[in-house]
Structure 1
Amino acid sequence: MKNVLISSFDMEVGGVERSLISLLNNFNYKDHQVDLMLYSHTGDFMNLLPNTPSLLNESKKYKTFRMSIGQIFMKGNIPIGLIRIFSKFKASFHKSNESGYKQMQYMWKYSLPFLPKLEKEYDVAISYLWPHYFIAEKVKAKTKIAWIHTDFSTVNTDIKMDIEMWNKFNYIIAVSEACKESFIKKYPILKRKVRVVENITSPEIVRTLANQQIENPMKNDNRFKIITVARLSHAKGIDNAVRALKLLKSKGYNDIAWYVVGYGGDETIIKHLITKYELEDSFILLGKKTNPFPFMIEADIYVQPSRYEGKAVTVGEAQILSKPVLITNYPTAASQVRNGFDGYICELSVEGIAQGIERLFLDNGLRNKLIMNCSNTNYGNSRELEKLYEIIELI
């Protein structure tokens, strides 16, 4: 029996966390003893974790990565608090929409001397969420595996620091072929390490949860309903979604309502845009929801307005529920849907999103075609885990 460690940040509501739950629910525990290390035992998904993996005790030092600077100082972690301030200052010299990536890198890199090692030695250690410094530097394992969920060609990171960290791993797992290719484009020196294991989805669980009875304002809304489930962040493009709905309204499409399930750092910006464009009655933020599927099931179409993705878990879940899906043409889009068959890809712009919605709104035949093809497609892929087991068995 192989000893396996899997690490991640916490179990807040998100696509990566949902994919981790699916992976843990489908894992082969007969041949693997699994420990789970969460830096913070927080989040609405904590109660969805299966009992089979052993949840390791929370570490006060690692929990700081989910705290504000003020909280870190209040807890007495002075060195880590000072490092956080320095990291924020250093990252501020690299102005971009995603400077938070560099800040996170610096936080981890410079905090390493103050973070404890894990004493137990493993056959396999899996870091499920970037940055992967914990597994890279603080865990002993015969084989180390890092997971990538995003399109790294689009994010602003310190490449030299990245490569030093990635070189601590034997394998790097991408969640799609397109995600793999974009990673290799940025880090060609790491090509031999990269493999693909898609996010595990369970159609049975998605459909069961979709039928859960909850309070749902979408039920009594007779307008054409759009749903998006995503973090309120620059990457997910919710700001562009607001602008696209404004454009549709200006063209006379007043019978459309756009609902968003999710939360995140851009909430204030998005609320300001909603007010600015007078869309309070038609662009509706539903907030954080542990179970987004009853909202998905009520929608006429699902829209993913992202600027970039690795492979969006929520798009696959919408397809399981036979929803017509519209996604922007981010670099990995073609690995997410078969354009015109089980989804529709639009130009990555405000105008492109508006045009895509207009097309699906007007073309009932296209919507029905997408619904039928999704209904006839099996999106279950638990056999993807066999690729991971093959790597583990090489030890």
Structure 2
Amino acid sequence: MNKKKVIFVTEKLIMGGVEKSLLEWIKILAPYMEITVAVMHLGGELETEIGKHATIRLLSDEQFHFRQIVARKIKKGKVIDVLQMLRAVNHARRDKSYINQCSNRIYEIDKIDEEFDYAVCFHKPTDILVPYTSMRINAKCKILWFHTEVSETVQMDKDGYKKAYQKYDKFVCVSKAVSKQLEEFLSDRKKDIYTIYNFFDKDTIYKKSELEPVKFGNEKKSIKIVTVGRLSWEKGQDIAIESARIMKEKDIKFVWYFIGDGPSYTELHGLTKKYGLEKQVIFLGGMKNPYPYIKKCDIYVQPSREEGYGMTVAEAKLLQRAIVITDFLTAGEHIQNGENGYIVPINQSELALKIMCLIKRPEKREQFSHNLKGYNYPVECKEKIYELFGIS
């Protein structure tokens, strides 16, 4: 029996929540489907692992200047592409809509002539890969995956994004809250919207949490706090550092470990230095296996401003940590406030207050941990994926 063919399109196979979830879906689908992963950039940490189950294909010519792209396409005989590019560039200069500009730029990237059963845009739903996947890949079914909230970018250009989204056959949202937002935005397409939480293998996480020794310092009398996530405005590490400043001023003994890389590193490092928090705030960088740190910490904190779901919170729940999270869109899908964790307003003072509450009340930490016993990730995720891709 011939396997159906699917292509996932994303930016780069880095060690991020979106990319980790892609790896898990590929593992699940690989026995049933022939999988290609198309990326704009090579060099991500997950390339080797994903390459075991799928063919990786480079899309982008962004490393070249416009004239070089034109010359290369002419050399390949792609004159129509060149004419479309020149026309599109002219349109893009006059168009104020970002998604329309992206739609015009897709001709800079080679069209994929191979035919697929499914083409999946597995990147943020506001960028060039949205029109590229729908317009430059031949597939019987186009799927757009929402890992984030239906953002202000989309709301500010409703007509542009509605037009771009209508070229897709199905939509996947990683939480109920995001699905609700998308249903309101695309009210005529509700039947095409699926809610499928990102999957993770709990047995793998348990094993990985025991694999490596934790390199915490010698602060035996200090509470150990861990936050995992890309260093970016959306993830709110700046809020966490402001909370750390408040806690230090109150003479609380703690060390806060941040795992992850990202564009906000310089800013966050500067903020740490400004407040004299070098002994309290430690940046560990990106890690393929953060689970030993999550398992050994006293408190797990997710200070995000935005989350499509929040995989790291689900992983901390699986490892039965005492958890404090901010009230991002999907917080209520993770935590029953006061029962198995705390949800606080997106505010450094409130965040610091609840963390200090858990530091001073070890019995509350124990209660939260106890109430997470038996937590299991929704098993219906696999069933929904099989339904989405027509696997029986």
Shift of 1:252: 2.6
Partner of 2:358 in structure 1?
360
1:76 counterpart residue number: 68
| Cα shift at 1:389 | 2.0
In structure 2, the residue matched to 1:285 is 283
Aligned runs of 1:8-157 on 2, under 5 Å? 8-27=10-29, 29-30=31-32, 32-49=33-50, 51-53=52-54, 55-61=55-61, 64=62, 71-73=63-65, 76-77=68-69, 105=99, 108-130=102-124, 131=127, 132-155=130-153
Instruction: Report the alpha carbon displacement of residue 89 of structure 1 after superposing the two structures with TM.
Output: 12
Query: If you compute each CA radius of gyration, which structure gives the higher value, 1 or 2?
Result: 2
Superposed CA RMSD in Å reads: 2.8
Give the structure 1 partner of residue 74 of structure 2: none
2:386 aligned with 1:392, yes or no? no
Distance in structure 1 (CA, Å) of the matches to 2:138 and 2:22: 22
In the alignment, the residues of structure 1 paired with residue 258 and residue 310 of structure 2 have an alpha-carbon distance, to the nearest angstrom, of 15
Whether contact under 8 Å (2:16, 2:230) holds in the other structure is: yes
1:394 & 1:151 partners in 2: Cα distance? Answer: 28
Higher relative contact order (CA 8 A, sep 6+): 1
TM-aligned CA distance change 1:323 to 1:87, over 3 Å: farther
Task: State the alpha-carbon separation in 1 of the partners of residues 291 and 196 from structure 2.
Answer: 24
> Is the CA contact 1:218–1:298 (under 8 Å) kept in the aligned structure 2?
no
- C-alpha contact 2:95 2:101 (8 A) present in aligned 1: no
C-alpha displacement of 1:127: 1.4
- Secondary structure of the 2:65 match is helix
Distance 1:209 1:323 in 2: 16
Q: Distance in 2 between matches of 1:47 and 1:184?
A: 37
Counterpart amino acid of residue 65 in structure 2: F
Deviation at 1:189, TM superposition (A): 4.7
Cα deviation for residue 240 of structure 1 reads: 0.7
Match in the other structure for 2:347: 349
**TM-superposition CA deviations, 1:295-332 (whole Å, max 9, x none):** 21221111000011110111111111111111101122
In structure 2, the residue matched to 1:5 is 7
The SS at the match of 1:218 is: coil
Deviation at 1:242, TM superposition (A): 0.5
Amino acid at match of 2:280: S
Displacement of 1:74 after TM fit? 9.9
Local SS of the residue matching 2:171? strand
In the alignment, which residue of structure 2 is the partner of 1:95? none
Give the aligned partner of residue 267 of structure 2. 269
Following TM superposition, by how much is the alpha carbon of 1:187 offset from its aligned partner in structure 2, in angstroms? 4.3
**Is the Cα contact below 8 Å between 2:11 and 2:39 reproduced in 1?**
yes
Q: Distance in 1 between matches of 2:236 and 2:188?
A: 31
Give how far 1:3 is off: 2.0
Structure 2 gap ranges (5+): 71-81
Cα distance change of structure 1 residues 145 and 371 upon mapping to structure 2, 3 Å threshold: same
Whole-angstrom distance in 2 between the partners of 1:161 and 1:74: 25
Contact 2:38 2:59 (C-alpha < 8 Å) held by counterparts: no
Q: How far apart are the structure 2 equivalents of 1:213 and 1:264?
A: 24
* Aligned length, in residue pairs: 368
